[in-house]
A and B are shown apart, each in its own frame.
Chain A
Amino acid sequence: MSKLGRVSVAALLAFVAAGLLAYFGLLPLALLVRHSFQGAEPFASYALVASRSANWTALRGTLTIATGAAAIAFLLGVPLGWLVAATDLPMARVWRSLLALPYVIPAYIGAVGWTYLLSGKAGWLDRLWTEGLGLPALPFSIYSLGGIVFVEGAFFSPFVLMAVAEAVERIDPALEEAARVSGAGPVRVWLEVTWPLVRRAALGGVLMAFLGTCASYGVPAVLGPSARPSVSVLTTRIKGYIDLHTTGGFRQATALSAVLLLAALVFPLAERAGGGDARAAGARPSARRPASLGRWRAPALAMVAGVFGVTTLAPIMALGISSLMGNVGRGFRLENLSLVHYWVVLGRPDALLALKNSVLAAAAAATLAVVIGTALALVAARGGGRFGAVLAALPWLPYAAPGTVLAIGIILAFTGAWGLNLYGTLWMLLVAYTAKYLALACRMAAAGIEQVHPSMEEAARVSGASRLRAVGEVLVPMIRGHLAAAWFLVFMPSFGELTMSVLLFGPDTPTLGTTLFELQSYEDPSAASVLAVLIVAVILLSNFLVRRLSGGRYGI
């Protein structure tokens, strides 16, 4: 066989994968930036955007909320992360998983849950307060700036919690013991040895929480418009511009998006600090002896349970109860328990269509991401040289880009101008989910490949297997656990995705996220809660499978 033939076969895989990545993941972002500079003069859109005070309000809103949420994530994540990883807290492993749960559940679902509890006057907690206890109305509602900050902070706190827990586990216990032997008390050891060693990871987690909140659309979209005064952020503002359906509106949306895209530049910093995306950061069982909490054990347990109850359990329970309440007006009674909303939802063609679309798009995206991600990881790991390393780093760009921004780039790229017109089709969502979450699959595949010595494939080659066959019959079976986990890691966030879907869905392609959003804001909160319960259930099941498939090393 000629050298040329061999090289092209070997390069084909890399070439196709790199091409798909460039076309579907990178082109949209490039087009977005370019488009923001088009118009009468290069900075016309920016000037227009800057001249509107509403945009400055939105920017202020984004920064305020992100700062507040990052602070909450820090205050919850650091102590809790340490408690679950380093102390003799009862059932620390279980608490660790429970407290990290918001990591896999979309934050907007938490926001929807809270709307049943604290809506100003009609929420269940409000009524318990006024009717049950006869007190004057509560002075706060979830529909407020504070409410948004609280929900975002609660749902991004796992970033800090997991980063701290993993950093604590990596500390050699001898370091702390040496300080104790040197005469430092436990508090002093914590402040002068433990904290300096976890600080980097904790701050990385805080930065992730900040960036995540900046990019978040669902929570401010659910809670912001009804707040008094109403709260607006960059992502909702961008959606507003898109909804104008005018060329000028679109151009201003791209200018605002380009501003938001700046956040992606900070992302590698947060990632490197070890805050990381702990979803794939393997957590080993640690060899350290848990620190004894002594008489603080009970209060610590109460605090952990309390935080879990308030941040996670309450909104999820609210959704569950709401979905099971036959008649909302009749309140909490056993005879009011009913599956009627489930039957109603199952009978609604729009809900069924949404379910079908979400399952299809998420499953297809997961499959595609695993295939492309494995190919990229393979090129990077097996002799791609510097080119391979760059190739494996590129999927992080669309991952770091806020979903709103990526979605607008995708609109620019795939509505006909660049070879494909996918507008209003499920393909649009498939492209978005794959581009966004490819990095997760790629990293998971890379972790698997790293564990396989190249001689495993070489032995197959010498035995008579072609390159593709060696990959297919030796490498892939050896990393199938990783690949299955990678599949679910993409499926999970895609299944309940909202941010990109609201910008990309068409009349025939509603998803669970978009349908839930519409039902809850305009029509039928009970049906919305049924969909939310469905999303949570599927995500929890997927997470369980990831844990099983990876032997407990990945997943929550």
Chain B
Amino acid sequence: MKQAGIEIEKITVRYGNSVPVRALSLDVKPGEFVSLLGPSGCGKTTTLRSIAGFSDIAEGDIRIGGVSVRDVPANKRNIGMVYQDYALFPHMSVEKNIGFGLRMRNVSADEIRQRAFAAAEQLRLSGFLDRYPQQLSGGQQQRVALARALVVRPDVLLLDEPMAALDKQLRSDMQFELKDLQKSVGITTVFVTHDQEEALSLSDRIAVMHDGKILQIDKPDTLYQFPATRFVAEFVGTANLFKAKVSNVGGKSRIELDGLNVSIQLDRELKAGEVEVMLRPEQIEFGNEASVSLPVRVQSTVFVGVATRYQVTTASRQVVRVDVSGVQSVRPATGEQATISWRLSDMRIYRDGRLEP
């Protein structure tokens, strides 16, 4: 399969007074799987629709396979798109749905049949070719939508929250299936979701969006461990944030957590001033083995399968979330006093919402 990259250069989309996409740039490498992740209304769908040619871009340019598509209408862009509600044609059988794109490309009837059968086989739909969309389950409908998009051998695959309508078990099955399919076909894919777990598990890279802009684009582990902004830290994964002050004494920086009698000696130099300290729940443990420790009272616990999530409160009444996994043995009970601690290297420091290097 021919692989085409997508280069989005400072595009802006306007609808009357609202500007859902603002000077957004994004490069997707050939064969790469990139997710657009962000809260509802941040402009993910609009960005995707600009790539597909359904939203007019007021400024900027989009290139697919190095060629500008600004003036190419949607039906000439050779793009495969899967919608959240799949948009399967209700008056056409599964076979007709899958073959639609080929019919529009004036492929011969024989070849349409052959390729529709092959696509159906690949997506385990062989037994359903004569059915109508409303006679299929949600998972089957989604596979038809995928088959319909892929059978025309598009340059890029665009998926707009395709898992949103599925229940949890089916969703995780389909995630694996989608990932396998994408790798085996090798197609450049842009995937829109507001579900961070989904983005983390599927993507080569994730672009976190907010207010029509991309805040950060990185590999999932980098994004999780080094969120570039406080917004990303809070949107991807769970973030414990402490307000704090940096002071410099004799070339060394110290951080004091507000309202708590904790002073942390840093191994690097920072500018003095107000900051926020961010920690992931699984980076905090009970006991005082790690370098920074803090007395707390256990408020509640929730068992979430792989771990137990504790809500504890500090002396300043701030709630801190702590994840204790199966291998850890220290497990205080609700109402007890305890000590939490963490390693200096796990701390992320944000000044005015941006990560301190």
* Chains A and B bind each other: no
A residues with a Cβ closer than 8 A to B are none
B residues with a Cβ closer than 8 A to A are none
